Amino acid sequence: MNYYDVVVAGGGHAGIEAALATSRMGLKTAMVTLKKETIGKMSCNPAIGGLAKGHLVREIDALGGEMGKIIDATGIHFKILNQSKGPAVWSPRAQADRLAYMHDAQHRIFTQENLDVIAGSVTGVESENGAVKAAQLSDGRIIPCRSIILTCGTFLNGCIHVGLNNMASGRAGEEAAKGLTENLIDLGFKTGRLKTGTPPRIHIDSIDFDLVEAQLPDDPPVPFSFQSGPIERRQMNCYITYTNQKTHEALLSGIDRSPMYSGIITGVGPRYCPSIEDKVVRFADKDRHQIFLEPEGFDNPEVYVNGFSTSLPADIQEKAIRTVDALRNAEILRLGYAVEYDFFPSYQINATLETKLVENLYFAGQICGTSGYEEAAAQGLMAGINAGLKQQGRAPLILDRSEAYIGVLIDDLINKTILEPYRMFTSRAEFRLLLRHDNADLRLMKKGFAVGLIPEVAYQSMLARKAETETLNKRIAKTVITPAQFNPLAEEKETSGISQNTPLTKLVKRPEITLRELLNCAPDFQDEHVDPNTVAEVEFTNKYAGFLDRQQALVDKFKEMEKTVIPDNLDYQNIASMSAESREKLTQIRPRNLGQAARISGVRQSDVTILMVYIEKGRRSGKGDVSRETG
Amino acid sequence: MKHLPDSHTIVALSTPLGSGAIAIIRLSGPDALDLINPLLSKSLGEDNIRLATFAEICEGPGGKTIDQVVVTWFQGPRSYTGEDIVEISCHCNTLIIDAIISALVRQGARIAEPGEFTLRAFLKGKIDLSQAEAVADIINARTRQSLHQSMRHLEGRLSERLKEISGEVLNYLSLLEINLDFSEEGIEVMPMAELSRRITRTAGQLQELLNTYDYGRYLQEGIQMTILGKPNVGKSSLLNQLLQKERAIVSEIPGTTRDYIEANLDIEGLAVKAVDTAGIRKTEDRIEAIGVERTLQQLDSADIALAVFEGNRELDGDDRALLQIIRDHRELCQFVVVLNKTDIARNVETEKTLQPLGIPLVALSAKSGEGIGALKKCIKESLIGEQSLESEEIVVTSARHKKALAQTIEALLHADQSLHEGASDEILAVDIRLAMDHLGEITGETTSEDVLNHIFGNFCIGK
């Protein structure tokens, strides 16, 4: 077969980003997928974004990824979550018209230059001298290539469970991918098994809408992509209802036929996304659980019963769902199920997502043990970018924890022991206040532009916004307002007035007053139109200045630790003073620098100091390539 | 978060505690000179590099004097660590040592980690390469030793208690994180007023622990008590009464105790090392003169001093000399005035002179033992207040723990203040997280994974 620079195995959210990134970077790319018609399918819930995940989507967009643009084109219910909290933890989410999302994604793939789509299943990685040489397909075809990115989702030896019935399948109605796991084990990789689940879908006309609470979308919708214009698409409501005691009794009546409780499923499932039967058993004292009904499109009768994930038998699913008042007539269109699949514990990859064992082989998405479209897409994009940069002979793109949620995601993957499917949470980001969804462009677009995935016009518009922000910041720092200008507003807002001229930066710290209101009091700004996003940015940095400075101080400390590079050839087994557990962990993970070494779970504080002594020893004796990175 | 040794200026006591008359405190780092000079009566500079310089050291710029010390500046790189080092030789008294280290920490120094001076010496190339292994061993050994120490009964209980408290703080953080990361799932968490009440309560509990520090330190290091008074006032008899056996030589000839005599006592459960000194009086006798000098030296390292007067007589010149000593030293040492021989008679004038000092006063008879019980109570209360001495008491004994607790309390109270100002959950979480990290310096690190584990273990999450 023809030679390709890059072969991407899989057409899910990770595969799409990986393939678009490499082909746009000018590399001849082949996407190998079981079925062309299911590229971009949303196999679980119909939403993109959500808490912390929304941050990921905006970061993907700022780096030049596609997810934000697809959802902007096909979303039917946009909402910024957590708006009652501070701006740092606001997070966008949107329900998609599921079919439209898939078709839009396919259109982008099929029309992309440098990108071919090949129907098939990758079953082997052929390597030579420890580096990728070709991809082997199940039908015997061989695709010679330089890099392979594996984004296989839940397909590797996938097994679907409904009650005590199970079948080999990667996703409802689709065959599993066999052989690749075994091939990777032969190459020396370690594998594990995870589990996830999905709820039933019901017919929209079988819901009693008088008995549910409606959740309205934001008006106007705020787009995900920094490059999207206003969203004109018609919007739909989502709905909330609850289970009750009868539901719980119905579920428990089928627990003896649960594949989880009968021990058939051995894979580890995510605790943040338990099945409804799990919730009922573990939290027996709760008299109800929330159900979130998500429509899947205007022309699609399916409604996703979020919160009701289950692998109980069909009769129990139907009996239980119909105990909910609003769903008493529910017609199940597709059953809920659990799926088990193989993954490759992520200590086996580097920060570029390239595997440690085979050069130019990359893993992205659920194969690394993550869960979620957004987590997958972020890894797909980073794997694609890094495969591309490597082939172009350029330095890799590695984001650190203080720059992006994507940095947190990948850093956690390579340093932490992943015991359950990994999902992003804002609490995982220690520099959370600095990583807002709406400043993702200011944080990352420069890097996306340098890679070549951000068009000039988008980049210039970000630079203009940045300049405008800086100008406004400087101007308000110099502005004072008089009691006569401020006190009427103070009275209106029921806050104390001022008796002498006061700097604006001081007044903006009051929680009850917005920067825009203050600007309206200041003669210099009164009649001036300033972009609301710019005002929001400046308001945030001034209102939370004290907290931001503290986070910045922690970031500086963190960066200092990242500066001491650990030589590649360091043999931890020679460090007798170090604890055996630390030696083992460090040998397994091989951190790039001392900061990373300190983050590895199981490595002791004192052992980090001992490691520092050894690096210094190596540096002084001239052995080992130890250096201090600059900046 | 685990951290690396930084280039921050560090301070620590570098001689063993509790033995010897002189203690050496070492200050090392780029700011050593800038940190200490504002505290000294005579600034160190280019003129006295590597020269022992006599000076007074005070609590803060322009503050009260702590002690008379000898300071020596070793300019980097010609020093043990290769950095600027100031060595402070002070009197070996735990109160003085603590006061000096605290003053330097307030100036911006950080308390050194185990083995950190040696580590710096190595990193600066002051220790030979062949010694790298030894340096690593020292870090390792000291860590093990402190691990071992924390297993000890007292600290073990402290650590247990702090783990409980740490669990509470983890719970607060989890509640905030649920509001942030799972706000869509309709989980009912604690109302803010209740959270505030609990945070304040936890800060109060930590404060109580912090208050045990002096007591804890006494338990750890023992208490130095010195007995002062003119010759033949009954000091040795008093010591014998406290000891309840003949230890000091008791005689009718003034000045029999020429040097000093030590005895280990148990006073109301406190371990006290008592020193019976030579009598204080102006003297021409050479041997006795040496004794008096040593007496004053003993006072420098004492935690508490018993000043003994004859309650049956008027004060004479020697008594007035002692009164002056009390006035000069009362800032650095606890005093108890003992009126001995009150079984014989009570002199009203003497009591009238001594009462206004504002120092606890006990009348007793060292000969009969009457009033000794009251003296013991008075000693205990002067040292540790009303603190109960049950064996179950949890105490804080290390300066590092004290600092960590103080920082935890500060962070909790800051969070509570922000809460009242209406700050949002992610802002409150910054301070609660900080409190968690400070507590973690004693109980071990809490990771974001631990927070999530707590949430998943205790709340019904997931849709």
Lowest mean pLDDT among A441-445, A589-593, B23-27, B59-63: B59-63
- Collapsing DSSP to helix, strand or coil, A342 comes out as strand
φ, ψ of residue A131 to 5 degrees: the values are -125, 155
* pLDDT > 60? residue B197: yes
B181 contacts A52? CB cut-off 8 A:
yes
Strands A131-137 and A122-128: antiparallel
Structure tokens at A148: 């392979």
pLDDT at B138 (0 to 100): 61
Q: CB contact, 8 Å: B134 with chain A?
A: no
Chain position carrying tokens 């720092």: A477
> Is residue B254 exposed (0-12), middle (13-18) or buried (19+ Cβ within 10 Å)?
middle
Domain boundaries along the sequence of chain A: 4-197+341-451, 201-338, 466-548, 564-620
Alpha-carbon distance values, A234 to A42, A237, A324 (Å):
20, 11, 29
Interface test with A, best of B150, B184, B185 (most A CBs within 10 A): B184
Please list, in sequence order, all residues whose beta carbon lies within 8 angstroms of the beta carbon of residue A298, skipping any fewer than 6 positions away: A76, A97, A234, A236
In DSSP notation, B94-124 reads HHHHHHHHHHHHHHT-EEPPTTHHHHHHHHT
Sheet holding A337-343, edge to edge: A165-168, A159-162, A337-343, A192-198
pLDDT exceeds cutoff 60 at A533: yes
* pLDDT higher than threshold 90 for residue A262: no
Distance in angstroms (rounded) separating the CA atoms of residues A274 and A49: 19
Q: Using one digit for the tens of pLDDT, what is the confidence trace for A482-491?
A: 999 999 998 9
Query: Given A50, A286, A603, which is nearest B460 (Cβ)?
Result: A286
Q: Which of residues 317-356 of B touch A (CB under 8 A)?
A: none
The answer to whether B5 contacts chain A (CB < 8 Å) is yes
- Write out pLDDT tens, residues A457-475: 999 999 999 999 999 999 9
- Surface-to-core class of residue B240, CB atoms within 10 Å of its CB (0-12 exposed, 13-18 middle, 19+ buried): buried
CA-CA distance, A601 to A584, in Å (whole number)?
A: 11
CB-CB under 8 Å, B143 with A51: no
Q: Which residue has the higher pLDDT, B125 or A55?
A: A55
Do residue A511 and residue B423 have CB atoms under 8 angstroms apart?
yes
* DSSP structural state of residue B344: T
Compare all CA atoms of chain B with the CA of A618 and give the residue at the minimum distance: B129
Query: Mean of the per-residue pLDDT values for chain B?
Result: 80
Nearest to A82 among B136, B180, B460 (CB): B180
Class of A201-338 in CATH: mainly beta
Cross-strand bridge partners of residue B335 = B305
pLDDT for the residue numbered A163: 92
Per-residue pLDDT band at A17 (split at 50, 70, 90): very high
Instruction: Give A39-88 pLDDT, tens digit per residue.
Output: 999 989 999 999 999 999 999 999 999 999 999 999 999 999 999 998 99
**CATH fit for domain A564-620, picks 3.40.630.30, 1.10.10.10, 1.10.150.570, 3.40.50.970:** 1.10.150.570
State the helix-helix crossing angle for B94-107 and B399-420, rounded to 10 degrees.
50
What pLDDT is recorded for position A631? Answer: 33
CB within 8 Å of A10: residues ≥ 6 apart: A31, A32, A33, A150, A151, A152, A153, A155, A365
Q: What is the DSSP string of A490-511?
A: HHHHT----SS-EEHHHHTTST
pLDDT at A231: 95
Chain B residues touching A565 at Cβ < 8 A? none
Q: Which two tokens stand for residue A107?
A: 């259109």
Q: Kindly tell me if the per-residue pLDDT of A248 is higher than 80.
A: yes
Taking 50 as the threshold, does the pLDDT of residue B247 lie above it? no
Average pLDDT over residues B295-311: 83
Question: Contacts of residue B181 in chain A, CB cutoff 8 Å?
Answer: 51-52, 425-427
Closest CA to B45 of B79, B9, B72: B72
Q: Please state whether A583 falls in left (phi above 0), alpha (psi between -120 and 50) or beta.
A: alpha
Q: Which residue does chain B place closest to A293, by CA atoms?
A: B463
Strand pairing class (B304-310; B334-340): parallel
pLDDT at B22 over 90: no
What percentage of chain B has pLDDT greater than the value 70? 79
Scan residues 138-157 of B and list those with Cβ closer than 8 Å to A. Answer: 139-140, 143
Give residue B129's pLDDT band: very low, low, confident or very high (50, 70, 90).
low
- pLDDT at residue B46, rounded to an integer: 87
Range of weakest confidence among A20-34, A266-280, A579-593, B2-16: B2-16
Query: Which residues, 6+ apart, have CB-to-CB distance to A553 below 8 Å?
Result: none
Local confidence band at A252 (pLDDT 50, 70, 90 cut-offs):
very high
Q: Residue A291 has what DSSP assignment?
A: E
Tell me which residue has tokens 């900080």.
B434
What is the band of B219 on the pLDDT scale with cuts at 50, 70, 90? low
3-state DSSP assignment of residue B269:
coil
* A166 vs A172: CA distance, rounded Å: 11
Partners of B185 on chain A (C-beta within 8 Å) are 290
Q: What length does chain B have?
A: 463
User: Is the CA virtual torsion B124, B129, B130, B136 positive or negative?
Assistant: positive
DSSP string, B136-147: HHHHHHHHHHHH
Least confident stretch, A128-137, A362-371, B157-166: B157-166
Note whether B181 contacts A88, CB cutoff 8 Å: no
CATH architecture of structural domain A466-548: Orthogonal Bundle (1.10)
Closest CA to B297 of B233, B248, B228: B228
Report how far residue B384's alpha carbon sits from residue B212's, in angstroms, rounded to the nearest whole number: 8
Taking the C-alpha atoms of residue B120 and residue B7, their distance in angstroms, rounded to an integer, is: 9
B384 in A contact zone (CB under 8 Å): no
pLDDT higher than threshold 90 for residue B347: no
Smallest Cβ distance to B4: which of A272, A307, A609? Answer: A609
pLDDT averaged over chain A?
92
Residue B286 has pLDDT above 60, yes or no: no
Joined together, the tokens standing for residue B243 give 């000891």
Question: Are the C-beta atoms of residues A176 and A158 closer than 8 Å to each other?
Answer: yes
Most confident of the following: A10-24, A533-547, A592-606, B190-204? A10-24
Q: For A129-177, write each residue's pLDDT tens digit.
A: 999 999 999 999 999 999 999 999 989 999 999 999 999 988 878 888 8
Flag if B132 and A613 touch (Cβ within 8 Å).
Answer: yes
* Res. B224: pLDDT tops 90: no
Selected residue with higher pLDDT from B360 and A628:
B360
- Please say if the pLDDT value at position A288 is more than 90: yes
- The kind and range of the H/E element at A388 are helix A373-391
CB contact under 8 A, A614 and B139: no
Kindly determine whether residue A609 and residue B5, on different chains, have CB atoms separated by under 8 Å.
yes
Q: Average pLDDT in the A341-355 region?
A: 96
Q: By the 8 A CB rule, do A308 and A200 touch?
A: yes
Pick the CATH number of A4-197+341-451 from 3.40.50.2000, 3.30.70.20, 3.50.50.60, 3.40.50.720: 3.50.50.60
Q: For A224, list phi and psi in degrees, rounded to 5.
A: -80, -40
Phi, psi (5° rounding) for residue A29?
A: -125, 140
State which H helix or E strand residue B69 sits in. Answer: strand B65-74
Count other Cβ atoms within 10 Å, centred on residue A252: 17
C-alpha distance from residue B227 to each of A286, B322, B324, B381 (Å): 68, 11, 16, 17
Taking the C-alpha atoms of residue A609 and residue A564, their distance in angstroms, rounded to an integer, is 12
| pLDDT on residue A628 | 41
Of B139, B185, B451, the CB nearest to A290: B185
Share of chain A above pLDDT 90, in %: 74
Q: How many helices (H) and strands (E) does chain B have?
A: 15, 12
Residue A172's SS3 state is coil
C-alpha span between B254 and B247 (Å, rounded): 17
Q: Is the pLDDT of residue B235 over 90?
A: no
In this complex, which of A290, A550, A575 lies closest to B463 when CB atoms are compared?
A290
Kindly report, residue by residue over A584-605, the tens digit of the pLDDT. Answer: 999 999 999 998 998 888 888 7
Q: Is the pLDDT of residue B217 over 80?
A: no
Contact flag A511-B186 (C-beta cutoff 8 Å): no
Residues 6+ apart with CB under 8 A from A46: A95, A96, A98, A101, A294, A295, A296, A297, A304
**Which residues of A fall within a CB distance of 8 Å from B429?**
427
DSSP A224: S
Q: Give B94→chain A minimum CA distance, Å.
A: 28
pLDDT tens digits, residue range A187-220? Answer: 999 999 999 999 999 999 999 999 999 999 999 9
In this prediction, residues B237-242 reach a mean pLDDT of: 84
Q: Which of A199, A315, A306, A195 is nearest to A251 (CA)?
A: A315
Q: Determine the 3-state secondary structure of A366 from DSSP.
A: helix
Q: What is the ipTM of this complex?
A: 0.87
Confidence label for B387 from pLDDT (cuts 50, 70 and 90): low
Task: Give the pLDDT confidence score for residue A630 in this predicted structure.
Answer: 36
Say if the Cβ atoms of A617 and B129 lie within 8 Å: yes
- What is the C-alpha R_g of chain B? 27
**pLDDT for residue B457:** 77
| CA dist A427 → A547, B200, B429 (Å) | 16, 24, 9
Residue A283 predicted with pLDDT over 70: yes
C-alpha to C-alpha distance for A370 and A346, rounded to whole angstroms: 9
> A387-422: per-residue pLDDT in tens?
999 999 999 999 999 999 999 999 999 998 888 999
Q: Which of A270, A289, A608 sits opposite B460 (nearest CB)?
A: A289
What are residue B192's phi and psi, to 5 degrees? -60, -35
Mean pLDDT of B227-236: 84
Beta bridge partners of B68: B56
Contacts of A628 (CB under 8 A, 6+ apart): A563, A564, A565
Rounded CA gap, A156 and A368, in Å?
12
